[in-house]
Amino acid sequence: MATFGKSLAMGMVLILALCALGPGVVYGGEKSGIEGWEIDSAYNKHYNLDEWDSFKGIFIGFQKITPLPGMSPGIALLVKDGDGDEVITVHLGPSSFVNPNSIALRKGEKVNVKGVWAEIGGQEVFMASKVKKGDSYEFKVRLTKDGKPFWTMSPEELARERKAQ
């Protein structure tokens, strides 16, 4: 009986600890690793649809980024613009959401990037909505119509968006 009592007490301690951590840990409502990338964050407020644009270039690699102090790390593409004169840093999203290994791009491939221009931390960057390679590959990270980041969507919303692709 003493063993049962200890197991029950340990179970109660575990339940209390999970409750103290918040509902996100238990139910998946909170998304860890997106600190500073939230929909109402200072960073996301830089996504201004008035600055909507697209450009073509050559993919040269990935880069880890921390756009503003205190943000979780993120992933960016480095793309040489069409003239080959400038390397553009293209923000994709937090590294907890964007996995470079799952993006079907190889160095030297031509890409078409859509999104908005922004000045963040004193740097001119491009905040991507979509990256396309040819007619067969597309990597989307935001809704085109309003810029809502995919990493802020519920699992159901995200599944609908990915199914629509």
Q: Per residue in 94-123, pLDDT tens?
A: 999 999 999 999 999 999 999 999 999 899
Contacts of 129 (CB under 8 A, 6+ apart): 114, 115, 116, 140, 141, 142, 143, 144, 147
Report the greatest alpha carbon distance in the chain: 77
Closest CA to 98 of 160, 33, 163: 33
Total-model pTM = 0.79
Q: State the CATH class of domain 44-164.
A: mainly beta
pLDDT at 4 over 50: no
Q: Compute the distance between CA of residue 94 and CA of residue 37 in angstroms, rounded to an integer.
A: 7
Q: Say which residue, 121 or 84, is predicted with more confidence.
A: 121
User: Could you tell me the pLDDT band of residue 161, with boundaries at 50, 70 and 90?
Assistant: confident
Q: Compute the distance between CA of residue 62 and CA of residue 77 in angstroms, rounded to an integer.
A: 5
pLDDT at 82 over 90: no
pLDDT at 23 over 90: no
Read off φ and ψ for residue 101, nearest 5 degrees.
-70, -20
pLDDT at 165 over 50: yes
